[in-house]
């Protein structure tokens, strides 16, 4: 058992991983080990496969004179910058395509072509429509939905020349971006331009490539991601605080267990409707189960947890292990962060797997395509089949490794404002008084390079102990939730000032603000704080951290957060070490340009020190006590 402690700090992971090995199942950790040693060129970002004159590699040490240039003449700086920009483009494309799918649903709701979907938050629909200069007087919600979706479609193209939500940023930041020419003109345009610039023979200046990569990342943060968040709230409801549960213990031995995994709540919300249907519950009882239990994985899990308080079974590194419990009748996936290995693992158990998006298909996973028109019908079909699968369960192989831990969720910007009595002023007062020293977003993934959840939990514990309020998104939520940090009682682990504030408001010191696209909620709060205080974002005592990140999306987030003026600490080094210039720029030079830069620190204890020192520096800058 002791060897499993090296992989994760979580009991449920350790025990289930042990069972996986006993069952002969290969997991992400096993494959990670098999991939060692890693290619030092790829690790440093100096291998180039952009054209077929190569592939080329530059000696990252610079010692081999014959390996200073690729066949085309690109040096390490150009190759690293191009590779980095392409990673950022992929992250931006992922979040933004998710947003585009929601625009399509909103449009079809307006047209009456999306049965089962509806507009849940009409107040927000009107508020966002106003931001898009849509006159909402004398027109119905359906027509507003059509007009808003059409206006948002323009954000994706080159019709407008400037993203709508970019103007949420403080004016000082906008002036800086204008001066640097990094204001995103259109969401798709910036991603497409990154691909163009990084084609062989186009942009060969590492600085200019990186500045465009920043613009591309801003197109995600203030474009694709922000649209995704706002539209999810409009269509599925703006989250409100409430309680739920987290870890593999949320699976129930005497129920049909259905898991949803991925990112876009368009599928998971519809499955949520189907499992509540009386006929489905009756069918489950007829098959010998006590009911149907829905739980989430990864970010779509965060989405339905935030809105419906549906429990969260695990984060990224738990997705394969969920099946090892032997009680999962089905996993329904949409897109992003879905390991292609899932179908392979399912071969060893009775779990049925379904893919639902025409752009995300997987080996050994059955495809049941969801569209806005058929989603309701397909959700019922899958839920029915999942219930029928209950009878195929092998009772001798059941293993639920833990009891669930309670967590609190639902901290949308609107919910936070409501808790604060309608404005951010009480938060600003608490920051000024030093009760809350600062605010830090702890976000992102799991990565087998880091002991699962160790990076998140250690960092969060140290920050809250220093009176720093933490906001979590993505897979960091599961870590915080499992460690009990998302309950109001966790105030006992906070410093005296934060403890007092949490006690008064009855909130945890680590707030669950949503999925990864919901990092836009953190950006909205940062912009609103800066606007309320009358300073640029880089002057605020705030920071970001992604202690266990793995995905291109996380890197894109780090870039738009940094470009917004927020110092961001990464727990895993991006593949840029082969270029001294790009590395120096990312980890210090950008500070002179954006007022913030990235830092890389795998040790969460040291990361906490870096962030705390940064908060102290920013407080001093504002003339606040430290």
By the rule CB under 6 A, 337 interacts with ligand BF8: yes
By the rule CB under 6 A, 553 interacts with ligand BF8: yes
Q: Which stretch binds ligand BF8 (CB under 6 A): 181-189, 419-427, 550-558, 610-618?
A: 550-558
By the rule CB under 6 A, 298 interacts with ligand BF8: yes
By the rule CB under 6 A, 445 interacts with ligand BF8: yes
Task: In angstroms, give the least distance from the CB of 103 to ligand BF8.
Answer: 19
Separation of first and last alpha carbons in the chain: 44
By the rule CB under 6 A, 551 interacts with ligand BF8: yes
From candidates 304, 516, 522, 596, binder to ligand BF8 by CB under 6 A: 516
What is the pattern of x (binds ligand BF8, CB under 6 A) and - over residues 166-195? ------------------------------
Task: In angstroms, give the least distance from the CB of 476 to ligand BF8.
Answer: 7
Name the residue nearer to ligand BF8 (CB basis): 29 or 380. 29
CA dist list (Å): 131 to 221, 397, 464: 17, 54, 35
**For residues 43-55, b (16+ Cβ closer than 10 Å) or e, as one string?**
ebbbbbebeeebe
By the rule CB under 6 A, 289 interacts with ligand BF8: no
By the rule CB under 6 A, 474 interacts with ligand BF8: yes
From candidates 250, 258, 299, 483, binder to ligand BF8 by CB under 6 A: 299
By the rule CB under 6 A, 331 interacts with ligand BF8: no
Task: In angstroms, give the least distance from the CB of 316 to ligand BF8.
Answer: 4
Name the residue nearer to ligand BF8 (CB basis): 444 or 509. 444
Name the residue nearer to ligand BF8 (CB basis): 330 or 446. 446
By the rule CB under 6 A, 338 interacts with ligand BF8: no
Pair 565, 542: CB distance under 8 Å: no
Question: Hey, what are 490's tokens?
Answer: 């966790």
Question: Hey, what are 333's tokens?
Answer: 């996936």
CA dist list (Å): 67 to 123, 575, 626: 60, 18, 50
By the rule CB under 6 A, 475 interacts with ligand BF8: yes
CA distance 532 to 542: 15
Task: In angstroms, give the least distance from the CB of 551 to ligand BF8.
Answer: 4
Q: Which stretch binds ligand BF8 (CB under 6 A): 103-111, 135-143, 324-332, 549-557?
A: 549-557
Single out the residue of 139, 113, 115 nearest to residue 126, CA to CA: 139
- Give me the sign of the Cα torsion angle 169, 569, 206, 589: positive
By the rule CB under 6 A, 442 interacts with ligand BF8: no
Task: In angstroms, give the least distance from the CB of 475 to ligand BF8.
Answer: 3
Size of the residue set binding ligand BF8 (CB under 6 A): 15
Helix ranges restricted to H, 132-205 = 141-156, 171-180, 187-197
DSSP 403-467: --EEEEE---HHHHHHHTTSSSHHHHHHHHTTSS-EEEEE-----TTS-BTHHHHHHHHHHHHTT
Task: In angstroms, give the least distance from the CB of 308 to ligand BF8.
Answer: 18
By the rule CB under 6 A, 508 interacts with ligand BF8: no
SS3 541: coil
CA distance 584 to 593: 13
From candidates 110, 265, 444, 547, binder to ligand BF8 by CB under 6 A: 444
Q: How far is residue 275 CA from its own chain's centroid?
A: 26
Name the residue nearer to ligand BF8 (CB basis): 168 or 263. 263
CA dist list (Å): 437 to 467, 536, 537: 6, 18, 16
Provide the pairing of β-strand 405-409 with 352-355: unpaired
CA distance 379 to 398: 26
Q: Which stretch binds ligand BF8 (CB under 6 A): 275-283, 388-396, 547-555, 564-572?
A: 547-555
Task: In angstroms, give the least distance from the CB of 201 to ligand BF8.
Answer: 32
DSSP 270-323: HHHHHHT-HHHHHHHHHTT-S-EEEEEEHHHHHHHHHHH---EEE-GGGHHHHH
Q: Which stretch binds ligand BF8 (CB under 6 A): 283-291, 383-391, 551-559, 611-619?
A: 551-559
Task: In angstroms, give the least distance from the CB of 550 to ligand BF8.
Answer: 6
- Phi/psi-derived region of residue 572, left when phi > 0, alpha when psi is between -120 and 50, beta in every other case: beta
SS3 352: strand
By the rule CB under 6 A, 146 interacts with ligand BF8: no
Looking at the DSSP assignment, which residues form a beta bridge with residue 366? 354
- Phi/psi-derived region of residue 190, left when phi > 0, alpha when psi is between -120 and 50, beta in every other case: alpha
What is the pattern of x (binds ligand BF8, CB under 6 A) and - over residues 227-266? ------------------------------------x---
Task: In angstroms, give the least distance from the CB of 472 to ligand BF8.
Answer: 10
Name the residue nearer to ligand BF8 (CB basis): 301 or 595. 301
From candidates 316, 435, 499, 521, binder to ligand BF8 by CB under 6 A: 316
Name the residue nearer to ligand BF8 (CB basis): 316 or 350. 316
Q: Which long-range contacts (CB under 8 A, 24 or more apart) does 132-135 make?
A: 132/164
By the rule CB under 6 A, 10 interacts with ligand BF8: no
Q: Which stretch binds ligand BF8 (CB under 6 A): 285-293, 324-332, 546-554, 580-588?
A: 546-554
Pair 50, 198: CB distance under 8 Å: yes
Chain residues in the site for ligand BF8 (CB under 6 A): 263, 298-299, 315-316, 337, 444-445, 474-475, 515-516, 551, 553-554
């Amino acid at each position: 058992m002791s060897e499993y402690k090296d992989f994760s700090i979580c009991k449920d992971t350790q025990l289930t991983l042990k069972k996986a090995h006993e069952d002969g199942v290969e997991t992400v950790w096993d494959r990670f080990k098999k991939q060692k040693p890693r290619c030092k060129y790829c690790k440093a970002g100096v291998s180039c496969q952009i054209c077929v004159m190569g592939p080329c590699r530059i000696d990252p040490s610079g010692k081999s004179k014959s390996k200073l240039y690729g066949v085309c003449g690109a040096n390490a700086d150009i190759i690293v910058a191009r590779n980095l920009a392409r990673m950022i483009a992929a992250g931006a494309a992922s979040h933004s395509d998710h947003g585009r799918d929601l625009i399509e649903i909103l449009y079809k709701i307006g047209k009456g072509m999306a049965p089962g979907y509806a507009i849940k938050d009409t107040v927000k629909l009107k508020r966002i429509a106003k931001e898009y200069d849509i006159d909402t007087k004398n027109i119905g919600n359906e027509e507003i939905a059509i007009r808003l979706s059409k206006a948002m479609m323009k954000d994706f193209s080159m019709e407008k020349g400037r993203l709508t939500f970019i103007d949420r940023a403080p004016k000082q930041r906008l002036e800086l971006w204008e001066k640097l020419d990094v204001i995103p003109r259109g969401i798709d345009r910036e991603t497409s331009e990154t691909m163009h610039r990084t084609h062989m023979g186009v942009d060969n200046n590492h600085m200019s490539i990186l500045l465009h990569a920043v613009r591309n990342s801003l197109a995600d943060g203030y474009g694709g991601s922000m649209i995704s968040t706002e539209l999810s709230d409009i269509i599925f409801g703006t989250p409100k605080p409430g309680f739920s549960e987290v870890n593999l213990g949320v699976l129930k031995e005497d129920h049909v267990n259905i898991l949803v995994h991925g990112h876009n709540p368009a599928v998971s919300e519809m499955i949520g409707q189907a499992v509540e249907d009386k006929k489905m519950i009756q069918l489950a009882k007829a098959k010998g189960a006590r009911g149907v239990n829905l739980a989430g994985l990864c970010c779509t899990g965060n989405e339905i947890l935030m809105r419906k308080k549906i429990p969260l079974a695990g984060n990224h590194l738990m997705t394969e292990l969920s099946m090892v419990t032997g009680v999962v009748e089905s996993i329904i996936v949409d897109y992003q962060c879905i390991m292609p290995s899932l179908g392979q693992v399912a071969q060893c158990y009775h779990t049925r797997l379904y893919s639902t998006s025409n752009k995300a298909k997987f080996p050994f996973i059955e495809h049941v395509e969801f569209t806005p028109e058929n989603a309701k019908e397909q959700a019922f079909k899958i839920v029915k089949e999942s219930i029928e699968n209950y009878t195929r369960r092998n009772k001798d192989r059941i293993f639920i490794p833990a009891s669930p831990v309670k967590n609190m969720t639902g901290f949308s910007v609107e919910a936070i404002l409501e808790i604060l009595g309608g404005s951010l002023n009480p938060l600003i007062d608490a920051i000024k008084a030093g009760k809350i020293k600062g605010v830090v977003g702890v976000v992102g993934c799991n990565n087998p390079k880091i002991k699962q959840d160790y990076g998140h939990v250690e960092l969060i514990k140290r920050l809250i102990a220093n009176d720093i309020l933490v906001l979590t998104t993505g897979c960091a939520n599961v870590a915080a939730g499992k460690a009990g940090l998302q309950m109001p009682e966790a105030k006992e682990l906070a410093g005296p000032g934060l403890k007092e504030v949490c006690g008064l408001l009855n909130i945890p010191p680590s707030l669950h603000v949503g999925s990864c696209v919901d990092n836009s909620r953190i950006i909205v709060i940062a912009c609103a704080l800066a606007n309320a205080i009358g300073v640029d974002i880089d002057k605020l005592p705030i920071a970001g951290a992604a202690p266990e990140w793995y995905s291109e999306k996380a890197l894109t987030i780090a870039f738009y957060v940094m470009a917004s003026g927020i110092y961001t600490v990464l727990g895993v080094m991006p593949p840029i070490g082969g270029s001294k210039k790009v590395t120096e720029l990312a980890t210090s030079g950008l500070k002179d340009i954006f007022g913030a830069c990235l830092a890389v620190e795998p040790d969460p204890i040291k990361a906490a020190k870096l962030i705390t020192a940064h908060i102290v520096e920013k407080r001093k800058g504002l003339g606040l006590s430290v």
